[in-house]
Structure 1
Amino acid sequence: MPDAPRRRAGVPCAPPPKRYTVGGMTSVAAVEPETTAVPVQAVPAADVYVVLASAPAGLSAGQVAARRTTAGFNELPAPGRRRLWRRLARQFTDLFAIVLIVAAGITFLAYLLQSPREVGTLQLAVAIICVVLLNAVIGFAQEYSAERTAQALQAMVPHTCRVMRDGERQEVPVRDLVPGDVVVLEAGDAVPADLRLVEARDFAVDNAALTGESEPVHRSSEPAPASIPALQARNRIFMGTSVASGVGRGLVVATGVETEFGRIFRLAAAAPQPTTPLQRQIAAMARWVSLVALTVGAAMFLMRLPTGQPFVASFVFALGVMVALVPEGLPATLSVSLAIGVRRMARRHALVKRLLAVEALGSTTVICTDKTGTLTKAEMTVTQVWAAGRAHPVSGVGYGPEGEVTDPVPVRALLSAAALCGNARLVAAAGGGRRVLGDATEGALLVVAGKAGVDLAAEEAAAPRVAEFPFDPTRKLMTTVHRAGGHTACYVKGAPGAVLRGCVDVDWDGRSRPLDAGLRAEVIAAGDALAAGGLRVLAVARRVVAGARPSQEEAESGLTLLGFVGMADPPRPEVAEAVRMCRRAGIRIIMVSGDHPLTAEAVARRVGIVRRGNPVVVTGDRLDDTDDPGLEVLLSTSDELLFCRVSPEHKMRVVAALQRRGEIVAVTGDGANDAPALKHADIGVAMGASGTDVAREASVMVLLDDSFASIAAAVKLGRSVYHNIRKFLVYVFSSNVGELVPLLAATFAGFPLVPLLAVQVLAIDLGSDVLPALALGAEPPEPDVMDRPPRPRRERLMSLAVARRILFLGGIQAAGVTAAFFWHVHSSGIAYADLTADHPVYREALTITQAGIVVSQFFVSLAMRTDRQSLFTVGLFGNPALLAAGALGLAFMAGVSYLEPLQDIFHTAPLDAADWAVAAGCGVLLLAMEEGRKWVLRHRRPERRTS
């Protein structure tokens, strides 16, 4: 390596160096000679630093820079993506595009077979190809934009790790790791690279992502046999896995593509992305619409042939029918709507990793929420210290130094022990103030110790740590061992019940008192009183032993209780309103927490999850005694249900039981222990700021601000996205009905010509319909969207209600334009048989039909802004983009009517004021009838609300 130690001149030659293999490299260390290369797993822990040219204090800035030039960044390769021209070509494989391409080919063939050839037929073929090209460009641009947006949003989620550099513990981006970095790990961390452990205390890793092992496996820093594979070595851990328990340190052996996970990642990256239910529904709808279009077009062709119409004319008519039924702009409109929804959620601090989450959010019926960090600020603040038989209130909020402890002298010994028994550090926050590097509870203990006047640096120097027994969920304790003068002090903190089991006496104002039954009851009552006030309670104890290295059993028995620390995590101010919003939306909220039942209930009451006197509180012990059918019954007994003191297995059981009952379940979590439930849920929601890497990877949505209010906002936006998709489906297909009915009416009336040319249909669908449809996809949520119950899981996009609305709006539009067409022809006094394709009256009638559809569609777009609310309630100008899109469509229609080059293409004629008035009248009538329909819905069939 470029920064390996060099031999100084004049120093006697050392024995031949021992050679070790590190990944694909061979490193040299000045230790005993050996002729064969030795894997790094077989190296003693102390020699690993030498092998990797590192040190316990970590690398220097110069070493990091030098190694990055050779090793690069610690990043995995991006999945292989199709080339741009391949992505563009894929746009032409959409079923709608295929139908139009075939139609264009047949039309061009018909032009070649005509005698004499009509320019209009060639124009139609060219117009259809232009439509396909335009739709492909729009779809490609939106897909590319959505991909770039997803990449940018993913970069917003922080991925950092803790390392030792220049003798200090630092938090650096994972991508900045280089071989030789000393990484500090604790439970919940994702392993950022391939490491060789040099320190490990009760250390276990979850290798499921790499090896498929379902249970965590223990790891140590002891040398492993050189003959076994690296994946089986007990001192090796790998990128992509996670720390299940314990603390440790490891040296980076391989980064990026050189890791074991990097090799597997390259294989997995080539796997195709599964389609979402929404995509499958759209594909099925495309097949159905295309089949109907081809069938109806063929039927119209066969019906017109016996009437004596020319073959080519009959074919062009049938082609117009088919084109009228194909919603050419639908794929592009759909992609735009989803992209808008994802971006809106990102602005509300909700990063959606898969479109499936957008769909599922609209139908969420239950949210299983964690407490800390989601409902609360995740800034634990000590508010009470109980020592020497009395409480000592503490002022100040958060991690700032402001505040004081009432009568601090009697509690300094307790707070000193509590602060020493931890691994957290207070560091400067990017936006000012301080933040905790490590566990929030331990950070709160550091803050309150400072408020009481404890000099933490002096305490650490006077009592250096010599051993540690990390926190374990089973025993619910953490113990550190310190050399203090001529004796050894063991400091213990943890759950009050667990600590009290090991206590034999109490420190009472500097005097020891035996912990007899009476005093024990008094102490327990004091702890319960703190918990009843909504505080999280930790007990702190001490033992002085004679030996330098006591065992865990010795260190955690024969303890002297120093007292209790009560801390609160204040609820976020916006959560209460978010809970009310979810209740109105028919969404049930269940708290699933590892906290004390009294603490959990206190927070639940503050935010409105619990409103009545006695909620149903279920502990982990009760869950262990309840079978699955009993759990399902329990879930149906009360709307106010709290699960407390639960394990990851308990949380996953609750989620599975809810799903068996047909619920759509969203789960929030931030820790590694939440990952199973996050993966099992319909929507896993991880905390982006305070959550672990494991939780973020297991989720489909990441809250960048960790707030429950963002979940409620995301649900609202998810419902809006789904409703907007339905809105532009109704808008597009109602236009198709308006285009189809005049053609069918002409056939059954024996009219020799068509009321609407195929090229006009294309002009309507692409020139007038696409932009308003895109604007509908950006429609903000309706005011009452969160006053409706969740949509059923099996509800289809093209439901019966949607079909009825399409026929209602399309039927009104079709009746108006058909009547306008035949009224204009009839009022001219010219017989049907005397009309030709170039007759001015016929061209005026064609123009009236096209204008009537365009104007009516403008009014349809206004009507589609709401499902039940009156347009005049939400305001005519609430969607400026929609008004602008409608204005452009009307301007295009005016150009088609008055500009000679466009008149030649679309066979149109200038319209007078009366003609425009007729078209406008059709639109006004349509809007009035739709407002009447909404009024009936609001007054005769009020939608169910959930109180």
Structure 2
Amino acid sequence: MSSHLVRRRPAVVRQEGPATRRAAERPRQGQQDAASALPALRTSAVFTATGSSARGLTAAEAAGRRAVHGPNELPAVKRGRPWRRFVAQFTDLFAIVLLVSSALTFLAYWLGRPREPATLQLALAILCVVLLNAGIGFAQEYSAERTAQSLRAMVPHTCRVLRDGERRELPARELVPGDVVILEAGDAVPADCRLVEAHEAAVNNAALTGESDPVARVAEAVPPGPPLEARNCVWMGTDLVAGTGKAVVFGTGAATEFGRIFRLTAAAPRQRTPLQRQVAVMARRVAGAALATGAALFAIRAPSGQPFVDTFVFSLGVMVALVPEGLPATLSVSLAIGVRRMARRHALVKQLLAVEALGSTSVICTDKTGTLTQAEMTVVQLWADGVSHSVTGVGYAPAGEVADPGPVRELLRAAALCCNARLVPPSGREPWRVLGDTTEGALLVAAGKAGLDPAREEARTPRVAEYPFDSVRKLMSTVHRDGDGGHFAYVKGAPVELLARCDAMDRAGKRAPLTETERAGVVAAADGMAGQGLRVLGVARRQVAGPRPPLEDVETRLTLLGLVAMYDPPRPEVRDAVDACRRAGIRIVMVTGDHPLTAEAVARRVGIVRDPAPTLVTGARLDALDDDSLDDLLAGSVELLLCRVAPEHKLRVVTALQRRGEVVAVTGDGANDAPALKHADIGVAMGASGTDVAREAAVMVLLDDSFASIGTAVGLGRSVYRNIRKFLIYLFSHNIAELVPILAATFAGFPLVPITAVQILAIDLGSDVLPALALGAEPMEPDVMNSPPRPRHERLFSAAVMGRIVFLGGIQALGVCAVFFWHIHASGIPYADFTKSDPVYREAITMVQAGIVVSQFFNALAVRTDRQSVFRAGLLTNPWLLAAGCFGIGLMAAISYVPPLQAVFHTAPLDPADWAVLAGLGALLLVAEECRKGVLRRRAAAPKGGTR
């Protein structure tokens, strides 16, 4: 597909009231009425109907119409103002809980007599946490959006227009209905237009229909019918691959066919990713547990005679201990790390949560051309007079050769003369490319490999007439004058159609009658090559009486020169990527508009199909299936190829797969793919060849258009999910260490808390966030693609994860409880005599905070692996984790020794013996976790154990 498709710049969309929308609909309705009426009008009447002329519009007329119809661009997706999007960050459930906590703490501060500075500090600290999380979340979303906007604006599009009778080049967004545009081969069609001049014009409608075959266009009136079938109209986003023409614009912006598909895409709901659903469930449960626990402890302590405000602040502290304040920020930044890693591997992810969703992908619905293949047609085999000739070389570079080119030289000469494409030599970083139809480009390359110069042959036998290809005849013919003044017609097209018009075959340059036996041999040769997934063209010639003979004389009594077989070579890296997806248990379904034989051949070459008889389903068969039958088909067919499908078929298949519980990734490049891309769990658009509509609908854009990048992205997504579980275990295990001492003190009758809410916030944000981020940056493990995808409804907090949280958190809790009560009892002071300013109490709560920080350092090392010993993985393989852990311990030391921080956190200095005790407790946690992993490894190695 052309890379010069219509682009649009990001625009701010104003809020529209009913009156504004009705005013906007009137010009759109007028454009749609014109679309249905114009094809049946004569050329002269087209100018009258559109209020234009052969000289085009004047500048004043164009300005007036632009004020009515607006710019020629698809409407920008409505995005909230930055301040509204920042405010939206506070609607997260964790943020709401913390905001309520902060407000209640402020209230407690004002109601307290005397007012406690510590209560105000707690309220401010909680508020700062919420603001920090909101800032990080907003920054990540804004950065991702700006990246996507830069992608949409990659290539500004211009077009040639007649204004005031003069030819001008203008931005495509300035076109209005009535403009006369000038089109040449290789141009993108900038709006919906009615042709008024056409000279051998043909268009590639792949962006709308998914089919890349050129379709002839005419300027004459055609009978009324469906707009897309009007042969004298061209549509925004398509390409003129041959010929030239002039056309009058009748549809711009949202009133084009592109706009219709855009509106269909906008109506499709965006699916929530598995992680979104699981984080929402987790947030509700954690928030509910925190509120319930805080309320229960308030009810227990309130009757004990404690001051109301102190009891209330104590309960808030318990609630804060249970809420992982650093989780939203940690999750966002960890996903952002995954985004950057994918970008380095040519996959741009527009939404952070989509990174994780990739890891749970169970089905990939992929198109063929450009994703599995290189989008470069290449002639690989020639057939003439019963003999096959191989052709080497790939792509449009004239590198390769034809085996025994003598007998097929006339075949290739005729094929090259019957072409409108042009080869463009390398320029700068641009390789050899084709201007025009890629099939014709492949014929020109093959002729060059046989020693022919197509330009020289064209000069020696100039073209005097052309009969363009159309879908009814399935043939294209050109008439040329030779050096002796005679005229020859050269014809190429579908072998069956061509053979029916042949009565002779070329044998060593002489015309010989075509017998029925030979005719059957030609059919068998064509079918054999088609069965290999090759696209086959027949080429013939005949001598004609004059320069412009009737079509029926040109395409009858032909002499068959031979057959040309070509294919679009698969990308060399795709087979390995497909094999990796197979090992990972990911099912690949090819969805294409191509012929079933071609689709199956490509699928076999890249490894998608291995069985002798895969299931091939056409769009017509899909139409005949109800939902239950479609579900049965998808469940019973492991190797499934969907061929000759329309956009509605693709969307229906995606919906059916999701109904079966699959996590579906869909690839696409055309506007016709956009509804399926948006409805899929992961929509993957092509960055180099894709349309704006497809890139807007997708959540991931492949910058290199290669399926291999999808496989890599899936592996990275799985790695991100594993890393998320690692830091969730790390974060939640220390919450147990914060909560258990508070509960123990309550039931032991100790009047004060072993750790204050401000200390908890310092641990959560000062000592835990950086190590959690370092865990989120753990590199992808080698075996990440050797296990099946996790079920769609698998919980983020599985039984194994919860068990590990309790195990590690319980060890930490026992350690900090021991050091706290040991310190309190060693002082010999009765519980009732302790006050907040007591030095022993301040030392004890400092020991608790430092104990949690030190044990978390060892905990971070422990959770890096599930079963493998951390010593085998290497203690130094994640230097960021070690640096983050040391930073946390250094911060704790500052809180213990720096007077201003002592005043804020009510801490006291610890002596070296205290630090030694805490280090021993942390090492004990690491030893216990290593023992647990050793047990799991022995169970896995047992004869009846599971695989590791």
Alpha-carbon distance in structure 2 between the residues aligned to 1:506 and 1:231: 39
The answer to whether the 8 Å contact 1:41/1:223 transfers is no
Counterpart Cα distance in 2 of 1:873 and 1:683: 36
Residue by residue over 1:813-843, the C-alpha shift from the partner in whole angstroms, topping out at 9 and shown as x without a partner, is 2222222222222233333223221222211
What is the deviation of 1:707?
1.8
CA distance 1:841–1:672, change in 2 (3 Å): closer
Distance of 1:391 and 1:851 partners within structure 2: 81
Aligned to 1:815, what secondary structure does the other structure show?
helix
Aligned partners of 2:508, 2:538: CA distance in 1, in Å? 17
Q: 1:41–1:236: 8 Å Cα contact kept in structure 2?
A: no
Q: 2:319 aligns with which of 322, 346, 367?
A: 322
Q: CA deviation at 1:587?
A: 1.2
CA contact (8 A) 2:47 2:53 kept: no
- What amino acid does structure 1 have at the position aligned with 2:431? G
Equivalent position of 2:939 in the other structure: 940
Aligned residue number for residue 891 of structure 2:
892
Deviations 1:434-467 (A, max 9, x none): 1223443322111111222333224445343644
How far is 1:743 from its partner? 0.9
Distance 1:666 1:508 in 2: 53
One-letter amino acid matched to 1:723: R
Question: What is the aligned partner in structure 1 of residue 132 from structure 2?
Answer: 134
Matched, 1:335 2:332: yes
Q: State the partner residue of 1:396.
A: 393
SS of alignment partner, residue 386 of structure 1: strand
Q: How does 1:431-450 map to 2 (within 5 A)?
A: 431-450=429-448
Give deviations 1:534-560, integer Å, cap 9, x for gaps. 654332233555587677777655443
8 Å contact kept, 1:848–1:915: yes
| Residue 276 (structure 1) aligns with | 272
State which of 283, 287, 290 in structure 1 corresponds to 2:284: 287
Q: Which residue is equivalent to 1:538?
A: 537
Paired with 2:656 and 2:99, the residues of 1 have a C-alpha distance of: 50
Q: Supply the distance in 1 between the matched residues of 2:437 and 2:868 (Cα, whole angstroms).
A: 49
Following the alignment from structure 2 to structure 1, what is the Cα–Cα distance between the partners of residues 660 and 327?
36
Counterpart of 1:738?
737
The aligned counterpart of 1:182 is 182
| Structural mapping, 1:381-530, within 5 Å | 381-429=378-426, 430-461=428-459, 462-464=461-463, 466-470=465-469, 472=471, 477-484=474-481, 490-530=489-529
Note the C-alpha offset of 1:300: 0.9
Please give the alpha-carbon distance, in whole angstroms, between the structure 2 residues aligned to 1:814 and 1:108: 30
Give the match's secondary structure for 1:482.
strand
Cα deviation, 1:680-714, whole Å, max 9, x if unaligned, reads: 65444343334566765665433221222111011
Structure 1 CA distance for aligned equivalents of residues 876 and 465 of structure 2: 70
Give the AA of the match of 2:914. D
User: Which residue number in structure 1 is paired with residue 98 of structure 2?
Assistant: 100
Q: Is the 8 A contact 2:271 2:681 kept in 1?
A: no
Q: Which residue, out of 44, 55, 80, partners 1:50?
A: 55
Quote the Cα distance in structure 2 between the aligned partners of 1:471 and 1:218. 5
Secondary structure at 1:50 match in 2 = coil
SS in 2 for 1:338: helix
Give the Cα separation in 1 of the matches to 2:739 and 2:913.
25
Secondary structure, counterpart of 1:453 in structure 2: coil
Q: What secondary structure does 1:793 align onto?
A: coil
Task: Tell me, yes or no, if the aligned pair for 1:464 and 1:483 is still in contact at 8 Å.
Answer: yes
Match runs of 1:796-945 below 5 Å: 796-940=795-939
Out of 715-724 and 575-584, give the one that drifted further.
715-724
Distance 1:443 1:798 in 2: 56
CA distance in 2, matches of 1:815, 1:654: 54
What's the RMSD between the two structures over aligned residues? 5.0
Counterparts of 2:619 and 2:518, CA distance in 1: 27
1:244 Cα deviation after fit: 12
> Which residue matches 1:15?
none
Pair 584,738 (structure 1): closer, same or farther in 2 beyond 3 Å:
same
Tell whether the 8 Å contact from 1:193 to 1:252 is kept in structure 2 after alignment.
Answer: no
Q: Decide whether aligned partners of structure 1 residues 818 and 549 sit closer, same or farther in structure 2, where only a CA change above 3 A counts.
A: farther
CA contact (8 A) 2:193 2:235 kept: yes
Q: 2:107 aligns with which of 89, 106, 109?
A: 109
Deviation at 1:927, TM superposition (A): 3.0
Residue pairs, 1:645-684, within 5 angstroms:
658-659=657-658, 661-670=660-669, 681-684=680-683
Number of the residue aligned with 1:377: 374
Residues 242 and 695 of structure 1: CA distance in aligned 2, closer, same or farther (over 3 Å): farther
AA of the residue aligned to 1:778: A
Tell me the SS of whatever aligns to 2:333: helix
How much has 1:496 moved relative to structure 2?
3.4
Deviation digits for residues 55-93 of structure 1 (CA, Å, limit 9, x no counterpart) = xxxxxxxxx9xxx9xx99965675565444444444344
**What stretches of structure 2 of length at least 5 have no aligned partner?**
1-26, 29-42, 210-214
In 2, the alpha carbon distance for the partners of 1:503 and 1:651 equals 40
Please show how residues 569-718 of structure 1 align to structure 2 within 5 Å.
Answer: 569-592=568-591, 603-611=602-610, 614-616=612-614, 618=616, 620=618, 623=621, 627=625, 639-640=638-639, 658-659=657-658, 661-670=660-669, 681-691=680-690, 699-718=698-717
Secondary structure at 2:795 match in 1:
coil
Provide closer, same or farther for how the CA distance between residues 404 and 236 of structure 1 changes in structure 2, counting only shifts above 3 A.
closer
Say if 1:43 and 1:223, in contact at 8 Å, map to a contact too.
no
* Contact 1:720 1:785 survives alignment (8 Å): yes
Distance 1:500 1:824 in 2: 99
Given that 1:46 and 1:198 are in contact with CA atoms closer than 8 Å, whether structure 2 keeps it comes out as no
Aligned counterparts of 1:220 and 1:495: Cα–Cα separation in 2:
21
Give, in whole Å, the separation in 2 of the partners of 1:689 and 1:518: 48
Tell me, yes or no, if the aligned pair for 1:182 and 1:251 is still in contact at 8 Å. Answer: yes
Show the counterpart of 2:343: 346
Match of 1:14 in 2: none
Q: Name which of 107, 122, 125 aligns with 1:124.
A: 122
Note closer, same or farther for the CA distance 1:784–1:554 as it changes in structure 2 (3 Å cut). Answer: farther
Indicate the SS of the match to 1:909: coil
Residues 1:479 and 1:267: Cα distance change in structure 2 (over 3 Å): closer
Distance in 1, Cα, partners of 2:168 & 2:541: 31
Normalising to structure 1: TM-score of the pair? 0.80
Instruction: Report the secondary structure of 2:768's partner residue.
Output: helix
- Once residues 110 and 679 of structure 1 are traced to their aligned partners in structure 2, the CA distance between those partners, rounded to angstroms, is 48
Residues in 2 aligned to 1:207 and 1:448: alpha-carbon distance in whole angstroms: 28
Partner-residue secondary structure (3-state), 1:893: helix
CA, structure 1 residues 539+663, in 2 after alignment: closer, same or farther (shift >3 Å)?
A: farther
Q: How does 1:552-563 map to 2 (within 5 A)?
A: 558-563=557-562
- Call closer, same or farther: CA 1:707–1:117 in 2, change over 3 Å: closer
Q: Is the 8 A contact 2:47 2:248 kept in 1?
A: no
Structure 1 residue 716, shift from structure 2 partner: 1.1
What letter corresponds to residue 105 of structure 1 in structure 2? A
Residues 208 and 671, structure 2, Cα contact 8 Å, conserved in 1: no
What TM-score does the superposition give when structure 2 sets the normalisation length?
A: 0.80
Q: 1:150 is matched by which residue type in structure 2?
A: A
SS at match of 2:785: helix
Aligned residues of 2:75 and 2:254 also touching (Cα < 8 A): no
Alpha-carbon displacement from aligned partner over 1:584-626 (angstroms, at most 9, x marks no partner): 11112344556676765555454443456x3436374995898
Contact in 2 for aligned 1:222/1:235 (Cα 8 Å): yes
Deviation at 1:50, TM superposition (A): 1.7
303-312 vs 754-763, which moves further: 303-312
Q: How does 1:771-810 map to 2 (within 5 A)?
A: 771-810=770-809
CA distance in 2, matches of 1:45, 1:503: 46
Is this contact kept in 2: 1:41–1:224, CA < 8 A? no
Higher mean C-alpha deviation, range 259-268 or range 511-520: 259-268
Partner of 1:762: 761
